[in-house]
Amino acid sequence: AQTVTQSQPEMSVQEAETVTLSCTYDTSESDYYLFWYKQPPSRQMILVIRQEAYKQQNATENRFSVNFQKAAKSFSLKISDSQLGDAAMYFCAYRSAHSNYGQNFVFGPGTRLSVLP
């Protein structure tokens, strides 16, 4: 079974600075997807960024980028120019690319990010 680990229960960053959230996962599969979701106080899950395992290039979405290291099974999220609105719970998630292994997400325990003004 796949597992996702986020070793930082809480992180803080100064406004306008950069912060990196860690995520590692365990799988025997070669094809899969990785996601970072943000859950603000409203508790609505918001997709931040997505990475396909077959792509070597790291995904980027505006101020958000990932460092995907497939061999190390690591998928960290970098937030640049942090803003107050970035404060939230961040979840790393794994999904198999093969339907016979299930289409559900496996979520990590989350990292609570605080942004200091």
Partner 1 sequence: GAVVSQHPSRVICKSGTSVKIECRSLDFQATTMFWYRQFPKQSLMLMATSNEGSKATYEQGVEKDKFLINHASLTLSTLTVTSAHPEDSSFYICSAKGDTQETQYFGPGTRLLVL
Secondary structure percentages of the chain, helix, strand, coil, to 5: 5, 50, 45
The CA distance from 44 to 37, in Å, is 10
d(CA 79, CA 2): 26
- Give the footprint of partner 1 on this chain (CB under 8 A): 33, 35, 37, 42-47, 50, 52, 91, 95, 102-105, 107-110
Cβ at position 22, least distance to partner 1 in Å: 15
CA dihedral (41, 109, 77, 11) positive or negative: positive
Q: What minimum distance in Å lies between the beta carbon of 78 and partner 1?
A: 21
| Nearer CB in complex with partner 1: 1/71 | 1
Tell me the one-letter amino acid at 75: F
Choose between 76 and 111: whose C-beta lies nearer to partner 1.
111
End-to-end CA, the chain: 41
Q: How far is the CB of 17 from partner 1 (least distance, A)?
A: 25
> C-beta of 68: minimal distance to partner 1 in Å?
16
Minimum CB distance to partner 1 smaller for 6 or for 76: 6
Looking at the Cβ atoms of 34 and 115, the one nearer to partner 1 is: 34
